[in-house]
Structure 1
Amino acid sequence: MLHLGEMVTATQSVNEETLQLLGAELDYVVQVVSPEEEDRELLESFKIEFGEDEGDDADLVPRPPVVTVMGHVDHGKTKTLDAIRNTNVVAREAGGITQHIGAYQVATTHEGEERKITFIDTPGHEAFTAMRARGAQATDIAVLVVAADDGVKPQTIEALNHAQAANVPIVVAVNKVDKEGADPTKVRAQLTEYGLVAEEFGGSTMFVDISAKQGLGIDSLLEAILLTADAELDLRANPDMDAQGLAIEAHLDKGRGPVATVLVQRGTLRVGDSIVCGEAYGRVRAMLDDNGDTVEEADPSRPVRVLGLTAVPRAGDNFLVVTDDRMARQIAQERAARQRIAEMAKAGRRRTLEELFSDYEKGKIDELKLIIKGDVSGSVEALEDALLKIDVGEEVNLRVLHRAVGAITEYDVNLAIADDNAVIIGFNVRPEVRARDLAEREGVDIRYYSVIYQAIEEIEAALKGMLKPEFEEVRTGTAEVREVFKVPKIGNVAGSLVRSGTIIRNSKARIIRDGVVVADNLTVSSLRRFKDDATEVREGYECGIGVGYNDIKIDDVIETFEMQEKPRS
């Protein structure tokens, strides 16, 4: 490895490129597999098939469609869900912005029979792209909410791209049709450019005009969802196998411990099952539905909150039911070890000897270290994702030392103390009493946020503040030499007329002759008007200028300038 210009130890984790290079050097073929493939191999070693329905076609029964509501911020996604569920979610969200993924199941009557639909509400802010993309993966149908008075916006297209990438059918809800200036036809025309052609224009996409505020068109929207599901999808799952699915959201509850909102995709989840979800495992102690009522079992497409896990899983982690607690613990531990090794390899980025020397020559790169704590795992992940995307050049780095769900603890404060000047970010959480006392005693900076925009803006400002100042030269004045006077003990003094700006005493100066700089890095050491000393002389006035340079000729130009700090963009 030293021959390859790498400084590593024998037990150090290295990244993929280094492994490939090392393999070629030692005549080995190195095959790097994706985390999903590795996970599949791990489960196969425990004789578990993940992501497939067991049994024959006869065992499969129809399941409700899982619908994700997407669209631009403030176009009424949560209001639409409110109208469907008759609850008020927006009022509980900071700044009226959805910052968590919520999952709800509603019942409706379609063609005389009761049908259920599961809704996932995804946040609309661009910092939650990762969460929204994951919402699209768990989904059968995407409902794209577009405001009739605002039309197609950047996040509308972003949401549309996620839905198309996940290859799911789209139903468009044209909201706010009751508002002044609403133009539903314009929305239909705009979306035609992105491949969504309305049925009335000869296409296959269903457009429904609604008003979430007035509750208009909600039944038509539910009907359009069910018609799309019946026409384009064969939604069936085996309810008799061990449950498998996806963690949509998770948080740490003070009284209940880790609580995960899971979406059962196949099988039936029952109280008492041994479950493994990402790196967390445990036995299902209790299950709650979206109204907070306890349930004994959850069939396919049903979202439930699960209590009894050992840790808070990450939003998007797969969960599965296994035969016993011992197997669940083994799978979780192996996943955790693999994650730890991957993080070590990522942290130990390739450092060549040349890089080390150049870093040494340039001086240490400044680094802002963060510890992120939040109320739910989706928010923590999205916040980390957004902060790591802040780019202020190569002079300053941003490093997340630790991220987790729950209140700020003494461990977090001690970690901030150990890593000098690390900043703790609390997103919708507060510190424990002892942690707060320790932070105050040790002078650890804890910042609290409830809206993600604010956190991103402040961290970006902090990073820009860490940048070394950039200076630019600003010309302050020019003077034309009309006469040269010899003054004893001082030398030659230029009798000059100020042509532009202001000549200021002690400012930097240069002498220009026929457009060429003949002397630079001079200082205006003396400045006089007639026999009086002056601190500055403005345009149009005559003065005597001494710059400590004797080879001054008539018609030379004396240019003065100062170095000003350049604001970082």
Structure 2
Amino acid sequence: MSSSSKYIRQPIVSVLGHVDHGKTSFLDYIRGTTVVARESGAITQHIGATEVPIDAIYKVCGDLLKDKKFTLPGLLFIDTPGHHAFTTLRTRGGSLSDLAVLIVDINEGFKPQTYESLRILKQYKTPFIVAANKIDAISGWKTSKDIAKTRIEKQRVNVKTIFEEKLYEMIGTISENKLNSDLYFNISDFRKTIGIVPISAKTGEGIPELLMILVGLAQRFLEDKLHIESGPGKGSVLEVKEEVGLGKTIDAIVYNGTIKSNDKIVIGTKDDPVVTRIKALLKPKPLDEIRDPRERFDNVNEVHAACGVKISSPDLENVIPGAPIRVAKGNLEEVIAEVKKQTKIDFELDEQGILIKADTIGSLEALIKESRDKGIKIRKVDIGNISKRDIIEADASLHPLNKLIFAFNVKILPDAKEELSNADITIFNEDVIYTIMENYDEWIEKKKAMLERERRQEFTHPGMLKFLPEYVFRVSHPAVFGVRIIGGRIKTGIRLMKEDGKVLGSIKGIQSENKSIEEAIQGQEVAISIEGVTVGRQLKGGDILYTEIPASDAKKLRDMDVLNLDEKDVLNKIFEIKRKTDKFWGM
């Protein structure tokens, strides 16, 4: 292949969906089917990917592709299913995946990871189709080799009804996410409507149609993007792995050009890119040829996009998943600058905010976006496990709501665990961003309520109460009588005043249903005791009483957002009373 020649590479396809909805079974079925079709184009197992040649697709699809010819060499499926691998394999401004399959168990519908996958596909603007899996599990479903439309029509009426109910529920859920969808055979323009293909990864129903649509979409809409040059290779790190006899290696997906053994390559790290030279390019041996677990790989001289390959090189310790890989051919400084730019997370940090840790660049970007969409301020982001320093930094935050770490798919290091036992911080460490956000919503609500309670303790709060003359239990020393809280709240220890501003005295105790309580709120009827008051003299039927608030507290309460509307109304009435005798009160 000459250095300037162009060719069409296979589209890279990711498989996403919720756990146990059949992502792995789907990939296993495709591998199994294409192995059977060896005589029409053998399957090629890559590192981290499975290549399905176009000849194998012709064989599997049979009459579906009769008389159709494609220039694509096939499809390259990423072996690691899920949105995590999808976000790891990134290029500047998007995903490395050209197409995606969103697997949904038709019987269970959308689950947390399905929603997450859908949001990520929308974020990256990746074309995708929905595989409505496990149709064979619908009660009474009859498996056949007919095309989907005929297969559905042939089902018994009650089975067809169940199928349609589940399908419409799925279409409705997708519609709630501002996307149109329908059964693939009802669609005339796949750019405007998401195709749904009913499949069974167990029986293989629908998988030929799914492969047909993937190839058709790629050929029609992605051909220009798939025309690449065979010059210096470009790739993305899928995983960093320790291998016996090799040390640190990287599993990479090559999406452009050619990578050769002994090439000088530049790879992204958390800091500056590393420049190294390839010692070995490795591809897996066919399963039936593996005799020794230490000899699982074959050395190859070069690889061409699109493919998955293991790279053995020195100095890979700080390489991160999702980092770009570039072959440098006499333009080293230029390549280093390009890799550095692509590895950089491009967004502005806040002076105060939470910390975010993730295992890859892509997942970090996804977590940042979700946090930003919620208006969460972010002070620091980083790739890697949670360290002692992270705990100390989070604990040093000035605001209690910022003493928080969002962590995606990372570990808490031993010294960090020790530091955590003495720190007042919260960590949400999950492998689903959706779950982190759900946990955050629940936590922030409780935390704000707790902080509000704590802030309330610092001030005398506005309260308005009506004396109930029919409930006088003691006239004086102390006076004990019933009141109804009309607005705000009262607490033991606070002073009460009348509408003319005259102070009555302090509340010694509050009782409700013969039990002592510390606080009473709007709507409650309680008994209170006050020293220095005589019922009938200072206090008469129909009197309205207010909490007597120090001017400094009143000013702070007006400036702070800790009162509800009802409490604000009571505070305004207290201001009116006080300013009758002091027009600058509370200023």
- Regarding TM over 0.5, the answer is yes
Q: 1:194 Cα deviation (Å)?
A: 3.4
User: 2:382: which partner in 1?
Assistant: 403
Q: Distance in 1 between matches of 2:358 and 2:115?
A: 31
User: 1:305: which partner in 2?
Assistant: 310
Q: Distance in 2 between matches of 1:73 and 1:330?
A: 42
Write the deviation string for residues 21-74 of structure 1: whole angstroms up to 9, x where unpaired: xxxxxxxxxxxxxxxxxxxxxxxxxxxxxxxx973xxx3333222223345676
Q: Distance in 1 between matches of 2:243 and 2:411?
A: 12
Q: Distance in 2 between matches of 1:418 and 1:166?
A: 32
Q: 1:164 Cα deviation (Å)?
A: 7.0
Judging changes above 3 Å, is the alpha-carbon distance between structure 1 residues 186 and 461 closer, same or farther for their aligned structure 2 residues? closer
Q: Say yes or no: does 1:69 pair with 2:52.
A: no
Between Structure 1 and Structure 2, how many residues are aligned? 453
Q: Distance in 2 between matches of 1:157 and 1:226?
A: 25
Contact 1:173 1:209 in 2 (8 A): yes
Judging changes above 3 Å, is the alpha-carbon distance between structure 1 residues 540 and 443 closer, same or farther for their aligned structure 2 residues? closer
Alignment of 1:427-506 (within 5 A): 427-429=409-411, 431=413, 449=429, 451-452=431-432, 469-471=451-453, 479-481=467-469, 496-497=481-482, 506=492
Judging changes above 3 Å, is the alpha-carbon distance between structure 1 residues 109 and 276 closer, same or farther for their aligned structure 2 residues? same
Judging changes above 3 Å, is the alpha-carbon distance between structure 1 residues 147 and 182 closer, same or farther for their aligned structure 2 residues? farther
Contact 1:281 1:311 in 2 (8 A): no
User: 2:168: which partner in 1?
Assistant: 186
* Paired AA for residue 203 in structure 1: S
Q: 1:120 Cα deviation (Å)?
A: 3.3
Write the deviation string for residues 263-283 of structure 1: whole angstroms up to 9, x where unpaired: 322222122111123434322
Judging changes above 3 Å, is the alpha-carbon distance between structure 1 residues 129 and 140 closer, same or farther for their aligned structure 2 residues? closer
**Residue 213 (structure 2) aligned to one of 206, 224, 233:** 224
Judging changes above 3 Å, is the alpha-carbon distance between structure 1 residues 152 and 283 closer, same or farther for their aligned structure 2 residues? same
User: 1:110: which partner in 2?
Assistant: 57
Alignment of 1:312-351 (within 5 A): 312-313=318-319, 316-323=322-329, 327-328=331-332, 331-332=335-336, 336=340, 346=348
Judging changes above 3 Å, is the alpha-carbon distance between structure 1 residues 526 and 277 closer, same or farther for their aligned structure 2 residues? closer
Q: 1:210 Cα deviation (Å)?
A: 0.8
Contact 2:395 2:424 in 1 (8 A): no
Alignment of 1:545-560 (within 5 A): 545-546=530-531, 551-557=538-544
Q: Say yes or no: does 1:209 pair with 2:198.
A: yes
Consecutive unaligned residues of structure 2, counting only runs of 5 or more, are 34-46, 61-71, 139-161, 286-295, 398-403, 554-561, 565-587
Write the deviation string for residues 407-434 of structure 1: whole angstroms up to 9, x where unpaired: 67xxx436756886588869444647xx
* Paired AA for residue 210 in structure 1: I
Judging changes above 3 Å, is the alpha-carbon distance between structure 1 residues 380 and 547 closer, same or farther for their aligned structure 2 residues? farther
Contact 1:146 1:152 in 2 (8 A): yes
* Paired AA for residue 110 in structure 1: I
Alignment of 1:259-274 (within 5 A): 259-274=249-264
Q: Distance in 2 between matches of 1:451 and 1:429?
A: 11
Q: Distance in 2 between matches of 1:163 and 1:426?
A: 18
Contact 2:95 2:124 in 1 (8 A): yes
* Paired AA for residue 8 in structure 2: P
Judging changes above 3 Å, is the alpha-carbon distance between structure 1 residues 542 and 527 closer, same or farther for their aligned structure 2 residues? closer
**Residue 77 (structure 2) aligned to one of 116, 119, 122:** 119
Contact 1:426 1:446 in 2 (8 A): no
User: 1:247: which partner in 2?
Assistant: 236
Q: Distance in 2 between matches of 1:521 and 1:147?
A: 69
User: 2:275: which partner in 1?
Assistant: 281
Q: Distance in 1 between matches of 2:201 and 2:563?
A: 45
- Identity rate, percent: 22
Q: Distance in 2 between matches of 1:497 and 1:479?
A: 6
SS in 2 for 1:249: strand
Please say which of residues 453-462 and 307-316 is displaced more in the overlay.
453-462
Q: Distance in 2 between matches of 1:251 and 1:418?
A: 28
* Paired AA for residue 275 in structure 1: I
Q: Distance in 2 between matches of 1:129 and 1:476?
A: 59
Q: Distance in 1 between matches of 2:266 and 2:52?
A: 28
**Residue 83 (structure 1) aligned to one of 25, 29, 32:** 29
Q: 1:226 Cα deviation (Å)?
A: 2.5
Instruction: Name the TM-score, length of structure 1 as normaliser.
Output: 0.58
Contact 2:264 2:327 in 1 (8 A): yes
Contact 2:350 2:378 in 1 (8 A): no
**Residue 413 (structure 1) aligned to one of 388, 391, 396:** 388
SS in 2 for 1:224: helix
SS in 1 for 2:278: strand
